[in-house]
Homo-oligomer: A and B are copies of this chain.
Amino acid sequence: MNTSNAQSLFAAALVVMASSTTTCSHADDPLASWNDTAAKEAIIRFVEKVTTEGSADFVPPGERIATFDNDGTLWSEKPMYFQLLFALDRVKTLAPQHPEWKNEEPFASLLKGNVKAALAGGEKAVAEIVMATHAGMTTAEFETVAARWIATARHPTTGRPYTEMVYQPMLELLAYLRANGFKTFIVSGGGIEFMRPWTGRVYGIPPEQVVGSSIKTEYEVRGGKPVLVRLPELNFVDDKAGKPVGINSYIGRRPIFAAGNSDGDLQMLQYTTIARNADDTTPRFGLIVHHTDAEREWAYDRDSHVGQLDKALDEAPRRGWTVVDMKSDWKGVHPTERR
C-alpha cells in the first residue's frame, strides 16, 4: 500500500466513523421522537440539572418522583375514555345474564347501540354502568377480564389495539426519566385495577406505582381460598383536587415532575410545582400535553367534553409549565407511526 492509498483509506475511515457517530448519536437519543424544540430542551435541561452531583439543584434519586396522568397524557382519550369503551363492551357481554337491562336505562339505550342516549343520564348513568361492569366479582376475576379486553379489543376509529394508542414520545420520556434515577408513577382518574394489568408491559410502570380511582373491596375466604370482592361502592376519585390527595396517600412525597393534559391535572401540577416557601428551592417541572394535532391524533382543548384543557392552559405561562404542542413538538405520535 502506498502513502496515497493509505491516506485515502484513512480519510474513508474517518468518513465512516463520522457518519456512524452521527447514526449512533441519533439512535442513542433517548427522546428520539421529540423534535429539537424548546419543550425537549426544557426537559433535558431539567433532568441534567437535578442529576448533577454537587450542584445546588441536585435531587437525590429517592426524591426524583415523577407522576403522569394517563388518559390524554400517555395514551389517547378520544372518542371517549377507553375505560368507558371497556365498560360498554362489558355491558354487551353481561347482557344475557341481565334480561332486565332491556328495559332499564342506561343499559337499554346502550344495548341498542345508542351510547349518546345512555350517557344522557350524566354522572349517575356512568356510575351505574361502572358499578354494573366493575363490581360484583373478585379482584383476580376483574384482572383477568381487563387483561383479556386490553389484549383483544380494538379502537373504534383506528382499529388498533388500545395499547398502540399510547404516545411514543411519552414512552421515551418515561424511560429517559427512569434512566436518570426517577421513579415514575401513574396518577390517573381511571380505575387503578383497570390499569395495573398492563401498565408494566406498556409503560414500564409496575402495579405498585399506579395510582387511580377505586371502588371498595372486601376480604373473604371462599371455599378455603382468600379473595377480595369488588363492592359497588366508590372508594376514591383520583381526579382534580383528588390527585394531590392520591399522591400523598399512595406515594407519600411530593413529586418533582408532573405531566398532565387537562384541567383534571391542574391541582397535581400546582401541588408539584408551586414553591411552599423561600426555602423550597428544589427544581420542579410541570408538563402539559396539548392536543393540537387533528391529523395524527385529535385537536381539542377548552371546549372538549373529554380532557378539557382551559384553566391549566391559562395558568401554564405564569407557573412556567412546559406546554407540549403535539403537532410541532412530536415527530410521531403513536408507536406504529415510527415503524
Q: How many residues of A contact B (CB 8 A)?
A: 40
Interface flags for A168-189 (1: CB within 8 Å of B; 0: not) read 0000000000000001000000
Q: Are B224 and A274 in contact (CB under 8 A)?
A: yes
Copies in the complex: 2
The reply to whether B276 and A207 contact each other, CB–CB distance below 8 Å, is no
Check A252–B207 contact: CB distance below 8 A. yes
Q: Is A270 an interface residue (CB 8 A)?
A: yes
- On whether the beta carbons of B219 and A271 are closer than 8 Å, the reply is yes
What 0/1 pattern do residues 41 to 68 of A give for CB contact below 8 A with B?
0000000000000000000001001000
A225 contacts the other chain (CB 8 A): yes
Q: Which of A220-244 contact B (CB under 8 A)?
A: 221, 224-226, 228, 235, 241-242, 244
A74 to B242, CA, bound (A): 32
26 A-B contact pairs sorted by A residue (CB < 8 Å):
A62-B206, A65-B208, A183-B208, A192-B252, A196-B252, A206-B253, A207-B251, A207-B252, A208-B208, A208-B253, A210-B252, A217-B248, A218-B245, A219-B244, A219-B267, A221-B270, A224-B274, A225-B277, A226-B244, A226-B267, A226-B270, A226-B276, A228-B244, A228-B245, A228-B248, A250-B250
14 additional A-B pairs beyond A183-B208, A219-B267, beta carbons within 8 Å, are A62-B200, A192-B249, A196-B252, A207-B252, A208-B208, A208-B209, A208-B250, A214-B249, A219-B245, A224-B274, A225-B277, A226-B244, A228-B244, A228-B245
